[in-house]
Each structure stands twice: as structure tokens, then as C-alpha cells.
Structure 1
């Protein structure tokens, strides 16, 4: 008899337990604040990226020109131009590496802002709809527990 009462109490508690799941990748793809952050980064880094592409094309053209003209150049001219190309390539690689480091740092900053806003939206949804737990990573989630759409709506509504 005591086992039946205990089982009934556990079942009642399990029915009161409410859990949800949030797909953070979707939030980064679909939330307005994430899209705004991406657009901001593209605007901020587009000029430097174009300069890098142009420098890469210039370097490639100079390398191809050296290959074409190498047979007609003296050894000292060929060596001087090869040395110049190596220096230009080293400078290009350094600029590309710096660009990538700056871009990654800014991307991390912008993503952190989105994460903080998303976490506030998750908490808001969880509290207003009385969720006991919200998961962000899982091997499998039944779609009925996915509250990502609600979080994205809350996130987009919050300005």
C-alpha cells in the first residue's frame, strides 16, 4: 500500500515537471540581434577584407609575371624579384593573420552580447511559462520540448 502511494506521488511530481530545449545555433542564425551583429561585422571588416583580396591578387599577378619573365632575366634580377616577392608574401600573410585575429575577437565580442540577450530571453520564457529546466545541448530532443521559436520571438521583441 505504501509503495502505491509513493508511486502515485512520484507520478504527480513528474507531471508537474516542465522542461524545454533551446537550439542556440538557430538563435545565432535567426534572431534579429544575431543578424544585426553579423551585418555590423561585415560592414566593419569589409574594407580590410577587400584590401586583402586586392593585395593577394596583386601578389599573384607579380608572381605570374616573374614566372613568365624569369627566362629572360639575369640571375641577379631574378633573385632580387624573388626576394621582393617573398617579402611581399610575408607582409601579406602577416596582414591576413592580423585581419583574422581581429575579426575573430570582434566576432566573439558580438556573440557574447547575443548570448547574454538570449540567456535573458530564455530566463524570461522559463519564468513566464514556469519551466523547471531548459537545456541548450542534447543528443535528442522531442520537438514538443523545443522552445527556440518562443525564445527568438522574445529576443526579437526585446529592444
Structure 2
């Protein structure tokens, strides 16, 4: 019975080795490329322009918030310095105005964050849709069987890196 198990194991091993051999032969004919997606997208002219727009928007929002923050700060100082001389009604009114200014500041801060996030999303969507189109076209024209994203794999021979080609094509795409 041990001989049968031994022969069976040997036959199964041989069949398994032959399948691996066939897969290796088939894999040799595959044309595979890989892309560092982040690098390909971030190095495009569109992305660079978009980041400048995003930075300008952020700078504008920061200025607006700093101006409002300065007003709030000044109101707090004025209120603190004059509170003893004010009537209780006037003091309550000034405190209410200050509270409204703080609430407005928080709203504007949240609006600014949402506007920046929306602009960043638009940029990513715009480049992302071009990216898919360019990679698909590049893969078909280049006869690739597979194009994979670099971060997904542990090792890829650098000769298969097509990141620079994709970045150039993305820049050429209008």
C-alpha cells in the first residue's frame, strides 16, 4: 500500500510540475508593464497646474480666515478692556456679537475645507479619467497583456516600468 501512495504522490508531483512548466512557458509570452500610478499622475502638467490652483485657493481662504480671526481677537480685547464700563445690556449685546463672529468663523473654516476638498477631488477625477483612457490605449497599441500598478506588487523588474511613457501621454492628452 505504501508503494501505491508513493507512486501516486510521484505521479501527482509530476503532473503538478508539468502544469507549472506549462504556466511558465505561457507566462514567458506575456507582455507585462507596470506603472507607479501616483508618480505618473502627480508628474503631469495638469496635476502641477491643478496643485497651483489648489494652493492659490488655500492661500486665499487662509487670508480670509486670518482677517476674520484678527477681527475676533480685536473684539475680544476691546470687550475685555471695556467690559467694566459697559452696562449689562451693552455687555450682553457685545458678547452675543462676539459669539456670532466665532460661529461665522467656524462656518467659514468648514466651508474653506470643503471647497479645498472639492477642488482636490475635481483634479483627481479629471486626471483619473484621462489616466484610464491613456493606459488602455497605451496597452492596446503596445500589445500588452497586462499593465499593473506598482504598489500592488512586491517586485517587478524595472525594465517593465512604463510610468514615464504614461506621464508623457497624459501631458499630451487634452
TM-score (norm 2): 0.72
Instruction: State how far apart, in whole Å, the 1-side matches of 2:49 and 2:95 are.
Output: 44
Aligned to 1:62: 75
Contact 1:27 1:34 in 2 (8 A): no
In the alignment, the residues of structure 2 paired with residue 94 and residue 121 of structure 1 have an alpha-carbon distance, to the nearest angstrom, of: 40
- Any residues of structure 2 matched to 1:70-149 within 5 Å, and which? 72-74=84-86, 76=88, 77-136=90-149, 137-138=151-152, 140-142=154-156, 144=158, 145-149=160-164
User: Which whole-Å CA distance do the structure 1 matches of 2:94 and 2:41 have between them?
Assistant: 47
| Separation in structure 2 between the aligned mates of residue 11 and residue 132 of structure 1, nearest angstrom | 15
Asked if 1 retains the 8 angstrom alpha-carbon contact of 2:30 and 2:145, the reply is yes
Whole-Å separation in 1 of the counterparts to 2:38 and 2:143? 24
Long gaps (5+) in structure 1: none
Aligned partner of 1:19 in structure 2 is 32
Q: CA deviation at 1:32?
A: 0.9
CA distance in 1, matches of 2:83, 2:56: 45
CA distance in 1, matches of 2:36, 2:70: 40
- C-alpha distance 122-74 of structure 1, shift in aligned 2 (>3 A): same
Task: Number of aligned residue pairs: give it.
Answer: 157
The corresponding residue for 1:154 is 169
- Name whichever of 138-147 and 25-34 sits farther off: 138-147
Displacement of 1:148 in angstroms is 1.7
Conserved 8 A contact 2:57-2:116:
no
5+ residue gaps in structure 2? 1-13
Residues 22 and 134, structure 1, Cα contact 8 Å, conserved in 2: yes
**What does 1:27-38 align with in structure 2 at a 5 Å threshold?**
27-38=40-51
